[in-house]
Structure formats: structure tokens, C-alpha cells
């Protein structure tokens, strides 16, 4: 068994059974192909590397063979590897991913020029309507060349999708491995939320006491991030509005920050989404703000708290599917469900997710999913799977 089999599907099975042809061209970013190959395999994919002559000056065949578990293809011969992998047969590969892709290769692809194994693979894939993803990498000035811009637009019209690049240090740097893998999973996924606009509001609000201190809660924002990522991977146009958060947000997820509940209420005027999911932990009370910093030498301090408007009712403005979350502490399951049902009715929610915070741990939770028709399901497990179960109920 090749060592690459030891890491297969260790992160997820989202690419299990998928064959990916990885085209590697002559950018210094070719050195990222090893980690990219391994990450694709960790999600279950079978990876076949195809490499251009210029890329061979930067990475070695043996290293790529080790990373993918398959011998590389650098030249086409009587085995007609381009037809075998991407031809009009039932067992063709599922996707052609070219990363990194130079300006030279982009322009050749747009014009149907086949002078390397990579460009020939591209011609066959595009002609056969096989998904093609391209992660460009070049200097910024090359990216701005009118011909390159025109050729990229031409490829988009052919159905080719581009990932990135990141504009840094006067370079159009190849997208991160994380983003490329996520884009691959998205393209080969069910896309059952394609065309849907999803807004996720998460994290904790912060209500200032003075210029230094604020009232908040223990929310990490993890559930919100999982929901936003899961919706994006399923094809949705996603925006994440996030308060204080300690869980990492993928760089490719569009996000906006808020601090106070009042900030969030002002932002809600811009909302045009089809699905709105609100796992945010928002303050019920806010202090009267003191100017400057309250002295730390005081022996006693009294803070007056005022109620703040509830956000969920303000979000009910049309036909969107509205999902709320209800957190309680040290209550019975019956009481938790009863309180969640009352809140669901008061706020006219389509779905309510209720949990006891004492049954929540990092990555895991116990929750009740209440439908508008009065039925509910109990869930115990990781938050990533919970996010997809919630989306299953609206897709």
C-alpha cells in the first residue's frame, strides 16, 4: 500500500470516490502542489498529477509521486492519457484542477493551444464539459495585461471557474490550499443551495460599560462559522455577520463585523437574503456607557442595565426562511423545548435550534431542532454535522 493511503479520508469523505486531475504549471507556487495533493487526499480524493515542462524545473517527479500516490504525467504518448483521463467515457475523471496556473497557460487554454500535457488536458476537459478549476499565479502586472484579462473572461464563458488569486506584494499569489480544496469540494458537491442567498449572524455582541470594558458572553462563534462554510460548500451565496469570535473564519467567506446589538440592527436594513440563520449570542441588556475609563480604585461599583431591542423580530421582513437559536442553562428537556416553542411562535420563526449551554463543548453539542409544525428532532454530535442537518431542513 502506498503511504498516501494512510491519510485518505482522515479529514472528511467529501471527495471520496472523486478522481481529480491536478495540472501543475511553471510558477514558483508549484511548490504548494505537495500539500494541495495531500489535502485533497485527506478529504478522500484520488489525485493524478499532470505537469508542464517548466514546472518540472521547480518540482521533482518523485516528490509528486510520493504526494499523490500516482506516477506523474509529463508527456503524452500512445496511451493517450488525456483521453483516458478526461475523454468521453463513463469512468472519466471528475474534475481538472490547474494549480498553479500561469498567464501563459491561461492564454493557451483560451485559444485551444495544446503544446503541453496540461494544456491538452484542458482542451479535452473543456470540450467534454468536465468541470475545470483554475488557480492563477503570476505578477500583478501580468494579471492586469488586457490579453490575460480577455482570455480569463473567455474561459469563464466556457464554464471555467477561477479561484483567487490573492493580491499581495505586487503579485497575484496562488490562493491558499484551504481555499482551493474548499472550492473543489464545493464544485463537486451537491450544489443544492446554488442560487440561494444565505445570511448567518453569529458570535457574541459586546455592550460597552466604558471606553475599556464591555459586557459579553462565552460564545465562540464556532456554530456560525460551520453554518456559513457548510452553506458555501453547498453552493450558496453566503455572508457572515460576526461579533466577537474566537473560532477561525475561512478567508473566502464574505464577512462583516458588528460589536453592539444596535450595530446589528442598523446592518439589518441591508438584508436581502433568502435564508437567515441566527446562532449569535446577543446581549439582552446594555449598560449606560460611561465616558472614559471608570476608576479601578473604587471599592464598589453599580451598573444600571437597560433592555435592548430583540434582533430576531426585526429580521422577519419578508418570505425568507428564518432560523433562530435558543440557549438555556440547567433546565429540563421539557422546559427547554417549551421555552423554545414559545419564542418560536412569538418571533414567527420557521425553525428553532434549542440547547442547554451545559451540554455544549468545543466542537460538540446537544440540540433540539423544532419545526413550525410542532415536531422536533434531538441531535447529539459535532457542530459541523449539525450545520448540515440544519441546512438539509431548508434546502
Domains and CATH numbers, the chain: 3-188 (3.40.50.1950), 197-392 (3.40.50.10300)
Measure Cα distances from 37 to 33, 160, 289, 303, 324 in Å: 6, 21, 53, 56, 39
Digit-coded pLDDT (tens) for 313-364: 888 877 789 999 998 998 999 999 999 999 999 999 999 999 988 877 766 7
DSSP string covering 165-215: -EEETTEEEPPPHHHHHHHHHHHHS--TTTT-EEEEEESB--EESSSS-EE
In this predicted structure, the answer to whether residue 128 has a pLDDT above a threshold of 70 is yes
Average pLDDT (161-170) is: 91
Query: For residue 361, with 0-12 CB atoms within 10 Å meaning exposed, 13-18 middle and 19 or more buried, which class applies?
Result: exposed
Reference 39, options 201, 184, 147; nearest CA is: 184
Provide CB contacts within 8 A for 377, sequence distance 6+.
368, 369
What residues contact 203, with CB distance under 8 A and at least 6 apart?
Answer: 219, 221, 224, 242, 243, 244, 245, 280, 281
- pLDDT-derived band at 221, boundaries 50, 70, 90: very high
Query: Is residue 201 pLDDT above 80, yes or no?
Result: yes
Structure confidence by residue, pLDDT tens digits, 66-94: 999 999 999 988 888 888 889 888 889 99
Cα distance between residue 47 and residue 161, in whole Å:
19
Q: Residues 207-216: pLDDT tens digits? A: 998 889 899 9
Q: What is the structure's pLDDT at 55?
A: 97
Residue 30 has pLDDT above 80, yes or no: yes
Q: Is the pLDDT of residue 95 over 90?
A: yes
Can you tell me the mean pLDDT for 263-292? Answer: 88
Under the banding of pLDDT at 50, 70 and 90, the label for residue 291 is confident
Residues listed for the chain: 395
pLDDT in tens, 293-326: 888 888 888 888 999 999 998 888 777 899 999 9
Q: Give the cell for residue 352.
A: 428553532
pLDDT digits (tens, 9 = 90+) for 101-121: 999 999 999 999 999 999 999
Q: Give the three-state DSSP class for 317.
A: coil
* CB-based contacts of 333-338 (< 8 A; 24+ apart in sequence): 333/368, 336/368, 337/368, 337/370, 337/376
Gap between the Cα atoms of 283 and 171, Å rounded: 43
User: Average pLDDT, whole number, for the chain?
Assistant: 93
Judged by DSSP in three states, 22 sits in strand
- pTM for this one? 0.92
Q: Give me the percent of the chain exceeding a pLDDT of 70.
A: 99
> Grid coordinates in use for 204?
457574541
Q: What is the pLDDT of residue 170?
A: 83
Does pLDDT of 273 surpass 90? Answer: no
Residue 1 binned pLDDT confidence (cut-offs 50, 70, 90): confident
> How confident is the model over 159-183, as a mean pLDDT?
93
If pLDDT is split at 50, 70 and 90, which confidence band does 28 have?
very high
Report the share of the chain in percent with pLDDT over 90.
Answer: 77
Integer CA distances (angstroms), 241 to 194, 274, 363, in order: 20, 15, 20
Q: What average pLDDT does range 47-65 have in this prediction?
A: 97
Q: Would you state the pLDDT for residue 363?
A: 67
Split at pLDDT 50, 70, 90, the class of 203 is: very high
* pLDDT at residue 356, as a whole number: 87
CA torsion 189-194-196-197 (nearest 10°) is 70
Amino acid at each position: 500500500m502506498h503511504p498516501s493511503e494512510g491519510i485518505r479520508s482522515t479529514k472528511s469523505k467529501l471527495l471520496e470516490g472523486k478522481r481529480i486531475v491536478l495540472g501543475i504549471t511553471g510558477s514558483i507556487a508549484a511548490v504548494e502542489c505537495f500539500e494541495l495533493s495531500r489535502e485533497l487526499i485527506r478529504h478522500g480524493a484520488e489525485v493524478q498529477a499532470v505537469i508542464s515542462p517548466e514546472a518540472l524545473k521547480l518540482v521533482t517527479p518523485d516528490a509528486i509521486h510520493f504526494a499523490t500516490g500516482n506516477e506523474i504525467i509529463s508527456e503524452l504518448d500512445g496511451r493517450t492519457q488525456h483521453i483516458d483521463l478526461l475523454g468521453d467515457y463513463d469512468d472519466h475523471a471528475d474534475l481538472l484542477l490547474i494549480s498553479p496556473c500561469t498567464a501563459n497557460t491561461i492564454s493557451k487554454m483560451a485559444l485551444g493551444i495544446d503544446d503541453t500535457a496540461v494544456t491538452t488536458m484542458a482542451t479535452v476537459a473543456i470540450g467534454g464539459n468536465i468541470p475545470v478549476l483554475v488557480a492563477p499565479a503570476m505578477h500583478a502586472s501580468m494579471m492586469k495585461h488586457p490579453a490575460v484579462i480577455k482570455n480569463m473572461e473567455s474561459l469563464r464563458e466556457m464554464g471555467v471557474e477561477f479561484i483567487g488569486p490573492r493580491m499581495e506584494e505586487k503579485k497575484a499569489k496562488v490562493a491558499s490550499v484551504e481555499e482551493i480544496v474548499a472550492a473543489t469540494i464545493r464544485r463537486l458537491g451537491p450544489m443544492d443551495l446554488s442560487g440561494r442567498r444565505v445570511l448567518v449572524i453569529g458570535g457574541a455582541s459586546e455592550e460597552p460599560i466604558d471606553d475599556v470594558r464591555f459586557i459579553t458572553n462565552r460564545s465562540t462563534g464556532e456554530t456560525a462559522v460551520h453554518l456559513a462554510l457548510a452553506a458555501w460548500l453547498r453552493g450558496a451565496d453566503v455572508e457572515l455577520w460576526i461579533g466577537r469570535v474566537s473560532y477561525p473564519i475561512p478567508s473566502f467567506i464574505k464577512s462583516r463585523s458588528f460589536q453592539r446589538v444596535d450595530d446589528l440592527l442598523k446592518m439589518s436594513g441591508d438584508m436581502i437574503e433568502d435564508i437567515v440563520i441566527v446562532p449569535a449570542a446577543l446581549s439582552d441588556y446594555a449598560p449606560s456607557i460611561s465616558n472614559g475609563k471608570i476608576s479601578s480604585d473604587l471599592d464598589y461599583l453599580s451598573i444600571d442595565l437597560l433592555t435592548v431591542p430583540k434582533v430576531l423580530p426585526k429580521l422577519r421582513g419578508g418570505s425568507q426562511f428564518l432560523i433562530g437559536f435558543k440557549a438555556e442553562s440547567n433546565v429540563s428537556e421539557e422546559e427547554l423545548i417549551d421555552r423554545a416553542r414559545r419564542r418560536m411562535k412569538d418571533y414567527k420563526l420557521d425553525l428553532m435550534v434549542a440547547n442547554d449551554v451545559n451540554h455544549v463543548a468545543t466542537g460538540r453539542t446537544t440540540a433540539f431542532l423544532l419545526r413550525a409544525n410542532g415536531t422536533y428532532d434531538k441531535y447529539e454530535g459535532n457542530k459541523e454535522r449539525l450545520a448540515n442537518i440544519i441546512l438539509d431542513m431548508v434546502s
